[in-house]
Amino acid sequence: MMKKQNKLGRGIVKWQPFASIPQQYAGVRKIIENQKKIPQPILDEEEQERINYILVEATESMSEVTFVYWINGRIETEVGRIRKMDHITKEVFFIDSFDCIYALSIPAIVDVVLA
């Protein structure tokens, strides 16, 4: 039987054995992390309006929401109650289940779901 070859090859993994010096290891690790990053999703106007509507509704009802947001090339998720929205700085301040207050940039929000 013939082995199936990966079309992409081993990629950056083939350079792992050459990372014998700590600086080289840090450099290779940084390259691998940069390859995993994704670009910030671009939302159309309808999606932005839907997110704003849910944010306002959750602020008025003090209900929990799940935030899906983009930061440093990754998509993250947080759950909490909205404490305040600041339209001047475009930030949402929310409280998580441990009563910690976080600030989240509104343009970074990809999706919001009422919990």
User: CA–CA separation, 14 vs 34, rounded Å?
Assistant: 16
The stretch 68-77 carries a mean pLDDT of 94
Percent of the chain with pLDDT over 70: 81
Task: Indicate if the pLDDT at residue 92 is higher than 90.
Answer: yes
Which token pair is 51? 């997110």
Instruction: Report the mean per-residue pLDDT for the chain.
Output: 86
Which token pair is 114? 């009422």
Task: Indicate if the pLDDT at residue 87 is higher than 50.
Answer: yes
The stretch 63-85 carries a mean pLDDT of 95
Per residue in 11-64, pLDDT (tens digit) is 656 656 655 677 777 887 888 888 889 999 999 999 999 999 999 999 999 999
Burial of 72 (0-12, 13-18, 19+ CB in 10 A): exposed
- Where does the pLDDT of residue 4 fall: very low under 50, low under 70, confident under 90, or very high at 90 and above? low
CA distances from 95 to 20, 48, 82, 85 (A): 44, 22, 6, 12
The stretch 93-110 carries a mean pLDDT of 94
Kindly list the structural domains of the chain, giving each domain's residue range(s) and its CATH number in brackets, ordered by start: 11-38 (no CATH), 45-114 (2.30.30.100)
Element (H, E) at 14: none
